[in-house]
Structure 1
């Protein structure tokens, strides 16, 4: 009996040591962290045009599908802008047509001036021959010369007017610069009118909604958020001493704190290029010499391979999770 206590002590120490060794082996092969949070794409909903809110079609925490109406902005001003742009476009088309008509008229004047010059030149040539034969006086030749010069000047004037008319008219039809500019303004006004109806870009849940009919909003003004229900992942912060065994593609077990007993499957997607402290707004710096070594944590992106089967177990952004990675395949590959 006197050896019973020492034996029990040795057995207890051996059990404790064995347990510690088993725990260390488990922690080494299955590194885990509870510094992990559920993430999803969160879109900020903002209008592309300003105005007064006419209708709010959603409520806080409501699930919407892509294309569902979120809210409608009053369109009175936007409809007036479309009408004004339409009137400007019609005026540009009319001006272009009038310029083309004017161009045709001036072109006719050039043809007439060219014909008159041809007649004046023929008359001059005949008079010059008769003058050389002595059949007409010098005065007749001078008169024919003056008539020819006047016809040349008239043709030059008509051609200059034609060039100016062509420049004013520009390219005919829809390719006319003024018409294209007016058409662009009309298209923009129509786009802005369509933008008054704001729909969900993706399916998900409405969050942080505080919008009421009558509220005045400005373009690009953040109004609320939409949590996408598509891709979900976990940003887990592992100790730097665990990173040596972590590899992309390793299986992951995820426990979600808000749903005790729920276990999800996942996969290591990527390992962060720097610690969380490096990318903080104020990275820690120590130049005084009183430095204390602190184990750093590095973000590890984990993609979820499964989702809860029960619709009541809705995943929520920012939920705390516990992530455990199975690295046993790393030892088997050695």
Structure 2
């Protein structure tokens, strides 16, 4: 009788277990990477669509500058400058004295006019008959001459016509101010706006009355609010001294930019404004001026 040899199962080594696990890991890694890649692509597509939608309803540009009215302080009469009361870039109020001209010649002219008026009035009172009408006319002309001389004396003191900020001052006492020749600029600080240059592809939705948001480069952390006031009917290049000529056969089509004026609603806590300051603008085209749209 033969002894039965028991069946022996092949021993499973640690190396075989590791090998099987290693075979599954690359498969899982490839699947994981594929899923991550699909999700990333989907996220990019969603982000791109959201950006396109946002830019469609909220067109924006960083090609914008702050603007305000600038008037030139111009003397009405010619005279010697005796005093300059203001400094460069100083704020002034309406009625503040800016420049004083020598009043001596104007006072002398006024005095002579008053003497002539007194004589003319005396002659008019003494005249009778046919000479009365002529004397009365002379007296009236003398009154007008006095009024004109008095006005010229008043013009010798140049005052601020509005509230504003003085610009560059280059005049000094001792110089002659000539009638009609500007002395220095004055920025009107009562009204501010932004001239924003938008691409022509954005103009279809931009209309007057829509709400606009402005960020100044000098303080981008604060947002200013305004309203679209007007949209130009000509591109910025059309206003240049040498407009571009596209009649040749080698021209390259370039998206044009059109100026859009945005009237600012200035609040006490807004950052300081300055003419020519760079800004970024976004327009909410879902508004029509009657109320704000959802953003």
TM-score when normalising by structure 2: 0.82
Q: Deviation at 1:250?
A: 1.3
CA distance in 2, matches of 1:31, 1:285: 28
* Pick aligned residue for 2:82 from 50, 54, 57: 54
TM-score when normalising by structure 1: 0.73
Across the aligned residues of Structure 1 and Structure 2, the Cα RMSD in angstroms comes to 2.0
Q: Deviation at 1:31?
A: 0.2
Question: Contact 1:308/1:314 (CA < 8 Å) preserved in 2?
Answer: no
Question: Contact 2:211/2:287 (CA < 8 Å) preserved in 1?
Answer: no
Question: Contact 2:98/2:159 (CA < 8 Å) preserved in 1?
Answer: yes
> Which structure is higher in RCO with an 8 Å CA cutoff and minimum separation 6?
1
SS in 2 for 1:277: helix
Matches within 5 A, 1:194-209: 194-209=154-169
* Pick aligned residue for 1:170 from 114, 128, 133: 133
Moved runs in structure 1, 4+ residues, more than 4 A? none
CA distance in 2, matches of 1:63, 1:329: 36
Q: Deviation at 1:56?
A: 1.2
CA distance in 2, matches of 1:291, 1:57: 55
Q: Deviations over 1:77-136 (max 9, x none)?
A: 1111111222222333344345x24x3xxxxxxxxxxxxxxxxxxxxxxxxxxxxxxxxx
The residue that corresponds to 1:186 in the other structure is 146
* Pick aligned residue for 2:94 from 66, 69, 72: 66
The residue that corresponds to 1:263 in the other structure is 223
Higher Cα Rg, which structure: 1
The residue that corresponds to 1:215 in the other structure is 175
* Pick aligned residue for 2:278 from 320, 327, 330: 320
CA distance in 2, matches of 1:204, 1:272: 27
Question: Contact 2:75/2:155 (CA < 8 Å) preserved in 1?
Answer: yes
Q: Which runs of 5+ in 2 are unaligned?
A: 1-26
CA distance in 2, matches of 1:297, 1:308: 32
Q: Deviation at 1:227?
A: 1.1
CA distance in 2, matches of 1:272, 1:205: 28
Distance 1:211 1:304, change over 3 A: same
The residue that corresponds to 1:89 in the other structure is 117
Q: Which has the higher helix share?
A: 1
Q: Which has the higher strand share?
A: 2
CA distance in 2, matches of 1:190, 1:329: 55
CA distance in 2, matches of 1:220, 1:15: 65
CA distance in 1, matches of 2:111, 2:287: 69
The residue that corresponds to 1:27 in the other structure is 55
Q: Which runs of 5+ in 1 are unaligned?
A: 104-165
Q: Deviations over 1:308-333 (max 9, x none)?
A: 516xx421111111110112347x89
SS in 2 for 1:170: helix
Moved more, 300-309 or 18-27: 300-309
CA distance in 1, matches of 2:179, 2:107: 17
